Amino acid sequence: MKDALRHSRFEPAFQPLVDMSNGLVVGFEVLARWVDPALPAIGPVHFIPAAERYGLIGPLTRQILRKGCTEALQFPGEPILAFNLSPIQFRDPDLFDFVIAVIEPTGFPLRRVHIEMTESALTGDDGVALATVQRFKSVGIGVALDDFGTGFASLTRLHAFPFETLKIDASFVQTMETDPGSRKIVASVIGLGQSLGMTIVAEGVETEQQATILRRLGCDIAQGWLFGKPAAALEIVRSLPSPTGGIQRKSTRVSPLQRFHQLEALYKDAPIALGFADLDLSYVSVNDRLAQILGRPAADIVGHPITEKLPARHKLAMTRLLQRIIDRRSIKSHEYSDGAMARSYLISCQCVCDDVGDAIGLSITAIDITQRKAAQVALKADEEHFRRSVELSPNVAWAAKPSGEVDYMSPALGIGEASAMADRIADWYARMHEQDRARVRQEWLAWLPSQRPFSTQFRIKWNDGEWRWVLSRAKPFFNSRGQLERWYGVISDISDQKILEATVAQMASLPQENAQAAQILKLFR
């Protein structure tokens, strides 16, 4: 290693740090590489501890800092560079002066330099470390806490150090998809960092799915093979399109605390009833409206099974239904009427899943639909009333296209009762007296071009086998452009009138009744 240091064999590799909101490279972590063609590849996890042990970490760091800064001067834009310093270096009161003395001559701006330190630098007596970090801050160098979650730094220490950035260790990121515990840790760390106003960097991001989860959890920056492996400066310059504006602090970002309060306000004052249940089918929370519907104070509902107050015969069915919703990750809605309170609700139950599709509970919403139900019932009664009166009435309504083709016929008692429209119309034609059928059709077709009200009479065979006379009248309906749109017609039973007419006509043949009969006939026609 001494020989390698003398021959300057340690080289910086640059790994991109990517802004999750827009995919742009904002900077690079600088990682040490021992480049010697004569040796097998040795990774930093081996040579860094060795350098620490033999007191060579200082010279090694000097090479990486100097080369890193010099080489990065050719990078387009203004990327930041994040360097690693070992925990033992933070015990050295001269660390700050050492770092500045190496970087300044390169001309790389200090405000684009970040220093990464691990949690182990925070344990024990870290007064010196704190002083160094504060001095870094004072010249615009940002400090990141690396590998967060793997050590045992106390929250007190975390709070005491003015960290700009929290780096979530790759071990959590990489087990996130399979281990709900990791996912919770990642979510909590992101929340913690955001609450403290820090930028969150996720390390070791290898898959799109990991990136998606991180983005949804509100992670700012990602680093990992998905976005780029550590590479030599030359490769970076060659491959980088036009990156890098440095890490932006987003003022528009909503902190988990704000989000929590926003959701809480929405939840509490929502115009609908809301509740959440865990996988044991017990309520975890209910808002006031749901408590009101359930008829108990929220405190008596939370922690209790959903089915608690149900009649025994419904309990099993309800449990099965809820379990099925969870198993199938589905939503079910159904109407429920509270007879005692004379109210109706539309209740909807939805399985809630986390980012990787694991069920975490049931979301329950209920909307009061009493008024809508009442309106529906009234409308239905109206419809029914109308239908019945049409059925009773001796009048049958019909309608035809401008071409004369009949396409509507209302149902009537004793005839044309088929429920399908086409059958009903066919039934009418079939029942027409054959002496009338052709005549009426001819009259109708001949009349159409006149576009004036139409009227005719014909015989129909009723259900009881009797022939009845009916009068069919139609009126044309024109649209706003004056074009014929439809014919609307009514058929009325005139059998009684016909009998009367016949009787009167007979009367007319008797001389003494002649005058009277003529008068009556005039009334009819």
Active site (catalytic) residues: 203
Q: Which is nearer to ligand C2E, 45 or 312 (CB)?
A: 45
- Rounded Cα distance between 116 and 17, Å, is 13
Neighbours of 205 (CB within 10 A): 27
Closer to ligand C2E by CB, 54 or 467: give it: 54
- Torsion from C-alpha of 441, 444, 446, 449, nearest 10 degrees: -150
| Residue list 110-169, contact with Ca ion (CB under 5 A) | 116, 146-147
Of 113 and 364, which has the nearer Cβ to Ca ion? 113
Nearest approach, Cβ of residue 135 and Ca ion (Å): 20
Give me 350's structure tokens. Answer: 């939805």
User: Which of 27, 361 has the CB closer to ligand C2E?
Assistant: 27
Using the rule CB under 6 A, is 132 a contact of ligand C2E? no
Q: Which of 17, 18, 48, 440 binds ligand C2E (CB under 6 A)?
A: 48
Count Cα atoms within 13 angstroms, Cβ side, for 330: 9
The two most distant CA atoms of the chain are separated, in Å, by: 149
User: How many chain residues touch ligand C2E (CB under 6 A)?
Assistant: 23
Q: Which of 316, 321, 343, 317 is nearest to 332 (CA)?
A: 321
- In this chain, which stretch among 95-103, 222-230, 325-333, 500-508 interacts with ligand C2E, using CB under 6 A? 222-230
- Minimum distance, C-beta of residue 158 to Ca ion, in the bound complex (Å): 16
27 binds ligand C2E (CB under 6 A): no
CB atoms within 10 A of CB 112: 20
Establish if 31 lies at the interface with ligand C2E (CB under 6 A): yes
* Bridge partners (DSSP) listed for residue 14: 30, 231
Rounded Cα distance between 317 and 323, Å, is 10
Give me 305's structure tokens: 């099974």
By CB under 6 A, what part of segment 75-114 binds ligand C2E? 84-86
Does 199 bind Ca ion (CB under 5 A)? Our answer is no
Nearest to 99 by CA among 64, 128, 125, 55: 64
Q: Is 295 left (phi over 0), alpha (psi -120 to 50) or beta?
A: left
**Footprint of ligand C2E on 320-349 (CB under 6 A):** none
Of the residues 17, 20, 24, 64, which one makes contact with ligand C2E according to CB under 6 A:
64
Closest separation in Å from C-beta 200 to Ca ion: 13
Using the rule CB under 5 A, give the single segment among 72-80, 200-208, 296-304, 515-523 that binds Ca ion. 200-208
SS3 146: strand
Q: Which stretch binds ligand C2E (CB under 6 A): 203-211, 273-281, 395-403, 437-445?
A: 203-211
Contact 96, 128 (CB under 8 A): no
Instruction: Please identify which residue in 79, 193, 204, 243 interacts with ligand C2E, judged by CB under 6 A.
Output: 204
Shortest distance, position 147 Cβ to Ca ion, whole Å: 4
Which residues, 6 or more positions from 473, have their beta carbon under 8 angstroms from its beta carbon? 453, 454, 455, 489, 490
CB of 73 to ligand C2E, least distance (A): 19
Q: Does 146 sit near ligand C2E (CB under 6 A)? A: yes
Q: How far apart are the first and last CA of the chain?
A: 125
Select the span of 201-209, 267-275, 333-341, 380-388 touching ligand C2E (CB under 6 A): 201-209
Q: Which residues bind ligand C2E (CB under 6 A)?
A: 15, 31-32, 43-45, 48, 61, 64, 84-86, 146-147, 170, 203-206, 223-225, 230
